[in-house]
Structure 1
């Protein structure tokens, strides 16, 4: 009887996880296809009508009003974005189901009118929204609710970038620094792969492709150079995170957390910077320059310009994602360094893209898998080292202040167990 009971429990739980994962993946895959297609259309529209950027401050007022009026429920604030999803996974908050539609609308406004943003934040929050809807209507037992939230994260990331393996692991890795949620493996795996194939096969969405033309031969000298470069990229991720969080804290203090005023101020600043630089290369997603950086030289300070534009955009209350901006910063810094370092251009650019993301997201395993799926396994040993080094040297900083520190990255930091990225940054 005992064995039969265990078998019955195993089969029942496994079946539910597969069913829920597939359901979440299918829904997230479809909504992500809509997100990517619409973002492409809006991005092209903005490029053809440069005057649209002047409406960014007004869009900030509208977006702030929506979050203040409709984004809060029972003390849970949708304006926290990915941080709210992380807090909900740990039982410290509850996902507001309307967070998905709101962040989509906010991302569309931001992309159309010239704010600097990405896509994965919207996809992840829609994943959380859909997972919470499944939890609610299927009356999922309490122990499985956070597991389904993780599967929503996996589906969103896998579908957004066309990287289902990375997506599966990203959902298990992003919500706690130093802990992989293997208990969510089955639904995360199912939702990520289903989401990816629904996006690409069912809806015909094509993702960007980045090609590394050549990789240097392995040697002690080469590994030493990769380590030094990875430290540089990790510090870039720290600088971005600190500036972005600093702008958010400053704007919330000055405007007393009035999202409308914050976003109007941030949007006005973006308009002014665009006029001063005389280019719109750093507005929107900047995908053209990102792709260009793998093939030819780009402006030497492009990484810094994108860093400032993104920190102001997201720090002042606009929404979207931070992965693509991080990709851009790391890639263009690698491009700039190619003038001083005798390494293949596309390799330096790819190394910067992956290492900067690993340091900012605190997800070294997912970042390593991303390099494999994105670059076809080229330079696998170098990317493995780069992800680990960037993760260690970025310290206890990151994109998401709510990310708990399950255990410190290393004894090198002499940091006590517990706390979050936010509390650690304040204490230090």
Structure 2
């Protein structure tokens, strides 16, 4: 019993620290998701708003120039602060990213929501840490809790949120010290978000007991390779567009204007409006969406590539929002295409792509395998793991978060202290 007292004290202390942060983050995420649905409905009702996207991009640029300061670094700033505490994560990050993400979606930019939720959680965590005057180590753990809370609440996947917060920081190493605080934070935040009446999208994969084991396993491995290549293409294209735009466009405030014009030009092509916005639902029953990708005929052969291009241009030119939901869309529609080509079940391979492209782009195969179980059920857990770990290996030493540290490269090389940004250089 005496040996348990330190454990009880540890759990009680972190429960008291995590609970108010999780309630605040979960409530803010609920407000964000409700607002996101509202602005998406407005955009569908008024398609002409797309033509104001360049002006919206310029507005986002000046909002961050005048009031954002280092907040413009987004998720990378939070990762850097966890590894090497410095100036801190500004509290203004939360309202800024929430507002500018809604602007992006209102005017048709192709973006997600994970980045916003994670930045809300990280910003709140920094505020709590300063108010409580926590030391550097506890502040670092609380920032990880903020990531877990934001991620767990925005997708309704608390176990994934906790593991994602641990796994995303360093490739090849997980900090178990923050395991219980992150788990508690993700659970409390998800519960709070749900208590506000927020409902998450449900996906269903039917049982396919008649499929030969080795055929399905081999096809899952091959699909995982394709998912990994798609992950790498998205990461490299997003970073490349950002780098090239900074060199080619003469003034930085014109970069999002140019990006908005490119998105308008692509959307003018027949059928391309399906790839604007979040992409989860669409009032047009014939549109390609994340949900439709799980059904026969619900996606076109190149739907995944079009969504990849729309999102890379949107985020690479300075619009705000997350990458994860577009990665879900890219993966699910690519899985749909591969299923049609190989004769495999569309719903199962859409699910594999959903999680595996995300795994490759964020270098978090364990979290994404768990996400498959949380979203789709555990019947195909082995294939979730096969697809996610294969995609992780074939995505290369890149990712959407350049501040990720690399403790152990995918080829087994020790690279302590290096970041993905360093490896790109």
Ranges in structure 1 where 5+ consecutive residues have no aligned partner: none
Q: Which residue of 2 aligns with 1:421?
A: 420
SS at match of 1:276: coil
* Structure 2 Cα separation of the partners of residues 278 and 21 of structure 1: 46
Give per-residue Cα distances to partners, 1:146-169, cap 9 Å, x unaligned.
100000000001000001111111
Could you tell which deviates more after superposition, 45-54 or 295-304? 295-304
Q: Any idea what SS the aligned residue of 1:377 has?
A: coil
Deviation, structure 1 residue 25: 1.0
C-alpha displacement at 1:13, in angstroms? 3.7
Alignment of 1:388-427 (within 5 A): 388-411=389-412, 416-426=415-425
Counterpart of 1:341 in structure 2 is 342
TM-score (norm 1): 0.93
1:317 corresponding residue in structure 2: 318
With 34-43 and 414-423 compared, the bigger mean Cα shift is at: 414-423
Against the structure 1 CA distance between its residues 339 and 10, is the aligned structure 2 distance closer, same or farther, given a 3 Å change threshold? closer
Q: CA deviation at 1:340?
A: 1.3
Deviation per CA, 1:99-141: give whole Å up to 9, x if none. Answer: 1110001110001000000111000000000000101111112
Match of 1:71 among 56, 64, 68: 68
When normalised by structure 2's length, the TM-score is: 0.94
Match of 2:379 in 1: 378
Task: Specify the alignment match of 2:75 in structure 1.
Answer: 82
**Which residue is 1:293 aligned to?**
293
1:57 aligns with 2:54: yes
Larger mean Cα displacement after TM superposition, 126-135 or 295-304: 295-304
Q: What runs of 5+ residues in structure 2 fail to find an aligned partner? A: 282-288
Partner of residue 19 from structure 1, selected from 16, 21, 40 = 16
Distance (whole Å) between structure 1 residues aligned to residue 208 and residue 85 of structure 2: 45
C-alpha RMSD of the superposition? 1.8
1:13-57: CA deviations, max 9, x gaps? 432211121111111110011111110111111011000011111
Tell me if the contact between 1:214 and 1:346 (Cα under 8 Å) persists in the aligned partners.
Answer: no
**Structure 1 CA distance, aligned partners of 2:101 and 2:149?**
18
Contact 2:407 2:414 in 1 (8 A): no
Cα distance in 2, alignment partners of residues 158 and 215 from structure 1: 29
Kindly report which structure 2 residues correspond to 1:151-190, keeping only aligned pairs within 5 A, or say none: 151-190=145-184
Partner residue of 1:210 out of 174, 181, 203:
203
1:198 to 175, 192, 196: 192
Following superposition, the deviation at residue 220 of structure 1 comes to 2.5
Give distance in 1, aligned partners of 2:234 and 2:51: 25
Task: Give, in whole Å, the separation in 2 of the partners of 1:270 and 1:228.
Answer: 32
CA–CA distance in 2 between the matches of 1:338 and 1:391? Answer: 20
Aligned to 1:126: 120
Give the Cα separation in 1 of the matches to 2:271 and 2:201.
Answer: 27
- DSSP-derived class of the 1:308 partner: helix
Determine helix, strand or coil for the equivalent of 1:280.
helix
